[in-house]
Amino acid sequence: MPELRHNLITREWVIIATDRAKRPSDFRNSIDRKAAPSHVDSCPFCPGNESKTPEEFHRVTIDGMWKMRVVANKYPAVDREGTPERSINGTRRFVAGVGLHDVIIESPLHNTTLALMEPEDLVIALGLYKERFIEAYNDPRVEHVIIFKNHGLGAGTTIDHPHAQLIAIPIVPVQHRDRVTTAMQYFDDTGVCLMCDTLKTEINDKSRIVIETEHFLTFIPYAALSPFHTWIFPKRHCASFSGITDEEQADLAFHLKSILSKFYYGLEDPDYNLVIRSSRPKDIGNEFTHWYMSLMPKLSKTAGFELGSGMYINQSLPEENAAFLRDAHSN
């Protein structure tokens, strides 16, 4: 019989369709990505085309060549200039769309991906994420910052060249506020952080763990919303990504490289989204929220049921997904 599992952190329900569960290997990407060239003349992120990107904020250079660049998005979701004026007129309300929209170009090579990059490159990328995250919150107009990555067409990317994005907006998204409220209520009821408690449960249970090291746990959530939906939790309680230490950053780079390699080799390079979920740096000391990274391979489609209910149907078993990934090749 299918199980309806409750995700305590997101408050979402998911139907784990055990009866028609597919085997993990059935989720392999069927699209044969042609080997792309390492340089594409028309790509704005490839070396030689630096003038095609707007303002550059940061550049990591090694041996006279740039390795990573942080630039403004040419087609930003929000405008870098202006003030977040609010307008309230009856039930019509809006805020001027000001904020920041950065692109973090992660390699000079067009055809690589985090899964294939060196672990030390991922340390550099995570360092840039952290630096821009902190800087974005220094802008007084910014209320919330999201760092994310869209890998592949199915995950919403328009440019194949490896890159991540940061969007800083002048309001707090309802979803974030709702999850903070849930975490706060759990803390009030139990005296414990919900994510710290989740870590304890997962470490005791073991069946959904993919990678465990001193500082991080990579696992499939008990109520994973979709096949191979993966969380990377820092073991040390910390509300904001801004608090990650250098040692933790190196350990996180190892987890990220390993899990993305497992996706790459085990699931044949699926499209995926990566998101960092975090509170603001100034809330770093709060006892009830706990930053983490979420990875969602795009292996199933959401449809009418999901739209109509806000629930999900996962046609795979989180425990089987974890076992499959534990065995999958990574390097």
Indicate which residues carry an active-site annotation.
163
Of the two residues 69 and 262, which places its CB atom closer to Zn ion in the complex?
Answer: 69
- Nearest approach in angstroms of CB 328 to Zn ion is 28
Phi, psi of 261 (to 5 degrees): -65, -40
- Nearest approach in angstroms of CB 275 to Zn ion is 18
- Nearest approach in angstroms of CB 45 to Zn ion is 5
Of the two residues 4 and 153, which places its CB atom closer to Zn ion in the complex?
Answer: 153
Of the two residues 161 and 262, which places its CB atom closer to Zn ion in the complex?
Answer: 161
- Nearest approach in angstroms of CB 131 to Zn ion is 23
Of the two residues 67 and 237, which places its CB atom closer to Zn ion in the complex?
Answer: 237
Binding site for Zn ion (CB under 5 A): 40, 43, 45-46, 110, 161, 193, 195-196, 237, 290
Of the two residues 97 and 285, which places its CB atom closer to Zn ion in the complex?
Answer: 285
- Nearest approach in angstroms of CB 284 to Zn ion is 12
